[in-house]
Chain A
């Protein structure tokens, strides 16, 4: 079967066949699309299965050009489904499920974000699938994990963020009026994407295991636990420290108790970390060694932590007299961790990304000329590459069902008439 042009580059996963089924819940979850994207851009053949009619969740999420809602040109769809083949299947129909089984027969990996109760009802439970296809790796993605006692609990990015503890720590060390500064979700759908990364890593672990055992297996990925995994510093503090310790005490309050990562300056904001001895020496130097900074209040790292409010006041007074670009250059010259706080426009136009060719251009058959974030890592032999455009809804039905699975054109028509595809 014809796959996308792989150009001159080798691709790491060109030998793999992946099937991706998204989430049907009204609360969108796009983690499986992210996992599938990583495999597709890495060269695997990824067949994305979408319900006929509505299509996958990301098709309704936008952003849309000029606000014109069109499931074929939703920005998230255009980004998350690059390099994939798109087919439709209404898994409520037995004939559609038969087709899915035929697809899985030749597949290495299934990413399945169908809610657990629907999997049970439709015969898509991983136990049945792994029993039927002994080499298949089934990765379930769900809010709580399909093996958990809370498996049917509903969730989404908001609750995964806040039930994991990440929301409680956001904003980080900036809250001065807790009742009026509620715990926050991060921008975008971070728990979806993190669960997607986790599912992709888990699939590769299972694939390497299969080389030794010859057997596939199940990997259960919970959106919530993927976020809990981000909480390692706080969890380690909780399980290793005593309740009276200041480090432990910090876990009990959202009130500012030390340094934030971001500070205001004359024309915006900067991220800045002055804590270690080396960074503090550099910080004093770029400020022109002001007298206040030599106070013994700030002599050691611990002193600086204990007197962080006074130190912050001094720092911010200096920041407010300088632009973020100036502070960035001066700080980096002293090897102090510091970056400007960039809005999306600055991110899109920054020279570092441009020099590395991070954003890529694509001519999309339905959406026209596009710019997309590209490879998050430059790989010297097997580049991560946006290989092809996100598919139209059911665009590859014929290619997959007729040319690959050997259905007759009349059968394809009958399936369409039945609403199965």
Chain B
């Protein structure tokens, strides 16, 4: 397998929280030297959101460690002019800079794209903010989950006629992070061909709206502003989540064709239902979806969840159990997946983290445990910038590297 595709590429990552750190973890696992620039004065807040196995400290948070693998950590107090100068010297040695501060902060530190171009003319820089760098609302602050409300997702997700919903998986941060990987690698490909770097101004809200074409096109084509439809699908029924026997044991199933519906009714022990004129054809099932779902709910209720799912899958139907995270972690397909990675962390010991959600035939991603806060500061300063031990001590004393 040999060398990783991004070996020799250096990324200076000012990103924090979720989306940008997720993107740079991809780049790190693919061989880039990713330097996470952070500060103990105002930590990446994910270091302090719990899930530390009861032991306090900034290095033990499982959430942080599941996102920040395969990078190094350098502490720099960017409010200090000397720290800003160190950052600029590192930019000179870097191919890519990433950041997701509120618009204006990088300027304040003298680290905006215009300034950095002077030290690194072929720089690729990615800024990822809630609403992008330009426009009347550009300075808005937000997390992914608050931003998805702006972008249309919350309104469209929910039970019919009830309340708008926040979504699981801290949506959309990680989807945005994957898109950032694609965009950054496109810029790198362009630089390979031309020697030109560029600036990438990403708006998380625009990414989310890009992922809602069903609703946006409905509005643009027909002037109709859609409402939430629960688990339903405009073209398929049944298409939903139904309670099996027991407490919170749910089955999700999607039935596309009449033949599939017949099989479903057989497995549910009520083949006559498939002959019911209301339900025999897809159009009828959609028209009578309330009655249909009531029948399916009544039948599913008497089954054991896993037994029913196994029987449906055996017939080639699209069905699954609704998993909580602990159940997901016990799933056999997850356990055999290459995405399930064990790393050795200096404070937490051996831990499982989710690696990249892709299996390459000729790339074995390089996974290293998330870095300790500032754990690589001395080494980066001496090896990349030639600081002596005495100078490094002075920088600490003067609170440049905290």
Contact = CB atoms under 8 A, between A and B. Distances in A.
A204 B216 contact: no
Nearest to B331: A163
Nearest to B230: A184
Name the residue in A15, A240, A248 with the highest tally of chain B Cβ atoms < 10 Å from its Cβ: A240
A172 B166 contact: yes
Interface string A188-231: 11100110011111101111110111010111111011111111
Given A12-B190, A42-B186, A27 B254 contact: yes
Contacts of B183: 377, 379, 384
B170 A205 contact: no
A70 B82 CA distance: 63
B348 to A, nearest CB: 6
A149 B146 contact: no
Contacts of B166: 170-174, 260-262, 271
B349 to A, nearest CB: 10
A204 B186 contact: yes
A46 interface: no
Is the contact region of chain A dominated by helix, strand, or loop, or is it mixed? mixed
A269 interface: yes
Contact of B189 (A155, A207, A347): A207
Given A209-B363, A248-B51, A272-B146, A159 B167 contact: no
A358 interface: yes
A316 to B, nearest CB: 12
Contact of A205 (B5, B140, B248, B250): B5
Contact of B222 (A63, A163, A336): A63
Interface stretch (A73-81, A83-91, A96-104, A287-295): A73-81
Contacts of B24: none
Contact of B318 (A159, A174, A186, A225): A159
Contacts of B356: 229
Given A208-B6, A378-B201, A170 B168 contact: yes
A392 interface: no
Interface residues of B, number: 160
Given A240-B65, A262-B154, A378-B201, A166 B168 contact: yes
Contacts, number: 559
Contacts of B327: 165
Interface stretch (B86-94, B205-213, B264-272, B389-397): B205-213
A339 interface: yes
Contacts of B319: 159
Q: Which of B153, B196, B328 has the most CB of A within 10 A?
A: B328
A197 B175 contact: yes
Given A230-B174, A370-B220, A240 B159 contact: no
A376 B316 contact: no
B136 interface: yes
A76 B329 CA distance: 34
A344 B206 CA distance: 13
B194 A10 contact: yes
Interface stretch (A349-357, A402-410, A411-419): A349-357
Contacts of A189: 214
Interface in B216-241: 216-222, 225-228, 230-231, 233-236, 239-241
A345 B157 contact: no
Contact of B149 (A10, A12, A155, A261): A261
Nearest to B46: A233
A173 B166 CA distance: 8
Interface stretch (A47-55, A140-148, A307-315, A393-401): A140-148
Interface string A349-387: 011110110110000000000111101111111101000
Contacts of B359: 145, 147, 219-220
A27 B164 CA distance: 27
B64 A13 contact: no
A10 B190 contact: yes
B97 to A, nearest CB: 14
A208 B190 CA distance: 11
A158 B231 contact: yes
Contact of B333 (A38, A149, A201, A342): A149
Contacts of B363: 205-206, 209, 217
B381 interface: no
A170 B30 contact: no
Given A10-B190, A26-B260, A148-B337, A339 B149 contact: yes
B321 interface: yes
A202 B358 contact: yes
A245 interface: yes
Given A228-B357, A239-B351, A79 B213 contact: yes
Given A65-B222, A158-B233, A236-B353, 9 more contacts: A158-B239, A171-B157, A209-B362, A231-B354, A236-B354, A251-B324, A356-B132, A372-B220, A377-B183
23 contacts: A75-B221, A150-B333, A162-B323, A163-B322, A169-B169, A170-B168, A173-B166, A174-B163, A183-B241, A194-B175, A205-B181, A217-B362, A218-B360, A229-B174, A229-B357, A232-B63, A237-B325, A273-B145, A337-B141, A343-B227, A344-B152, A345-B219, A351-B136
